[in-house]
Each structure stands twice: as structure tokens, then as C-alpha cells.
Amino acid sequence: MGATIAPLLLIPNYSTMAKYRDKLPQLSNDLFLIDGGLETTLAFRQGLDLPEFAAFDLLKNDTGYQVLQKYFRTYQGMVGA
């Protein structure tokens, strides 16, 4: 007997998720850049204290916001933007 996918239909928004599964950007031949390790980089390489290891806490003040801007600007340099 084959497996059934009926239980997947119980997942909220499953039909919407399935609609785009073949159109994900990482499936194309285009350049696809993702971020990985934001909190690890900020905590262990830059020595920042991240409550609950959560980088979004940095958005509470201008200094934290600038830290995040600097972090993401490194990706701009990678793609030559």
C-alpha cells in the first residue's frame, strides 16, 4: 500500500506552501545569497551580549541598529553592490 499525503492537508496553508515549492529562488541558476550565523558571529566573534541569543534585541537602540547594518553590509561587498 502506498503512503498517503492526506495528513499534509491538515497543515495550515499547506496548499499555498505546495504552490511555490518548485519556484524557490535557490532552485534557479541565478545567484542566491543567504545569511547564516548572524547571532554566532555577533556573540562569539564580536563579543556582543545577545539576550536569549536573539539578534533582534539589537533593534532597540541606534547602536544595535548600526551593528546590524554593518553586519549585513558585508554581504553587499560580496556581491559587488
What is the C-alpha to C-alpha distance for residues 41 and 47, in angstroms, rounded to an integer? 8
pLDDT of res. 6: 55
pLDDT of res. 81: 58
Query: Which has more confidence, 43 or 9?
Result: 43
CA distances from 68 to 14, 39, 41, 46, 80 (A): 33, 10, 11, 12, 19
Domain boundaries in the chain?
A: 25-79
Q: What is the pLDDT of residues 20-79, one digit of tens each?
A: 778 888 888 887 778 889 999 999 999 999 999 999 999 999 999 999 999 988 888 877
pLDDT of res. 14: 59
- DSSP per residue, 23-74: --GGGSSS-------HHHIIIIIS----GGG-GGGGGGSHHHHHHHHHHHHH
Hey, is 3 helix, strand or coil?
coil
